[in-house]
Amino acid sequence: MNFLNKIYQIFLSEFAKRRIEKTILYVALFGFFIHLILIYLSKFGVVNLSLESELFKNPISAIYTPFSFILVYEVYLLIYYLPKSFTTYITKQYEIITLIIIRKLFKDLSALELTSDWFQIKGDLQFTYDILASVILFYLIFQFQKQGMQKSTQQKDNKLKIERFISRKKIIAIALVPIFFMMAFVTLFNWTSDVSLGSNDLASFETINNLFFDEFFTVLILVDVVLLLISFFYTDKFHKIIRNSGFVVSTILIRMSFGVSGLISTILIVLAVLFGLAIIIIHNKFEKNTLPNNV
């Protein structure tokens, strides 16, 4: 356990979080300026990227790059909070999918067609769906965090069980660090290789927007299921089992949104967060009605 604690301190301590935050911020700024330079070099014919991608047509699209690195940092924060707070861990999942929508909005802004046929143009209509969804998700996440702040009614004799559960979650978090960063590196390497080689098989923008995160949420589903199964060793409370099971369903709905496009994808994402919020509200009502001597 001493070895695991040392690994945990290296990658998931407060000091490590600050260091990674600063590093990703610098990389995000650097990536933004590089993307911007490439757009203008391509625009003036200085370089030929052999690309038809919408990411290289308008300077506003350059915002897509730093947001991608911010999302990588959000992935790290999700792992960071996993041992500390289960509800914060779930909140980070919701924040990540919301930021993916916000990132897509910056790309869509550069391709808007401001005409009287707004609701007849597919791209403009999707922009409308996404901008409404981002506001709704922002509010739902606020409510979810508010519900998550309510203290659980725990008996003192459960303290040892809670500590054991936290130690198991630390092991999972340590394992996730190399897995997720390796996934991010492989995804970035493969995509940049295709770009530099001018591959004709480049993914559509919709696919690019989902790169890494479709696999990421697949792994999260497996992690959530493992956490659910482990929780059975430490609690037999019905409302907690339903809460943890509900969060798994919520993550599955988010993952399903990557398999479809347009309005259906947006609806699935909003439904996932709304379902998670409903689950935690009902869970908290159970907590308030549970007397300590009946636990």
> What pTM was computed for the model?
0.83
pLDDT in tens, 209-221: 667 788 888 899 9
Q: Looking at per-residue confidence, does 200 or 90 come out higher?
A: 90
Which of 90, 116, 236, 66 has its CA nearest to residue 169?
90
Distance from C-alpha of 48 to C-alpha of 37, rounded to nearest angstrom = 13
Q: What pLDDT digit, counting tens, does each position of 249-295 carry?
A: 999 999 999 888 888 999 999 999 999 999 999 999 988 886 554 43
82-128, pLDDT tens digit by residue? 988 888 999 999 999 999 999 888 777 766 666 666 666 666 788 88
pLDDT in tens, 59-75: 877 888 888 888 889 99
Q: Nearest Cα to 207, choosing from 140, 166, 260, 147?
A: 260
- Residue 92: the pLDDT is 94
- How much is the mean pLDDT over the chain? 82
What pLDDT is stored for residue 295 in this prediction?
37
User: What are the extents of the domains in the chain?
Assistant: 2-289
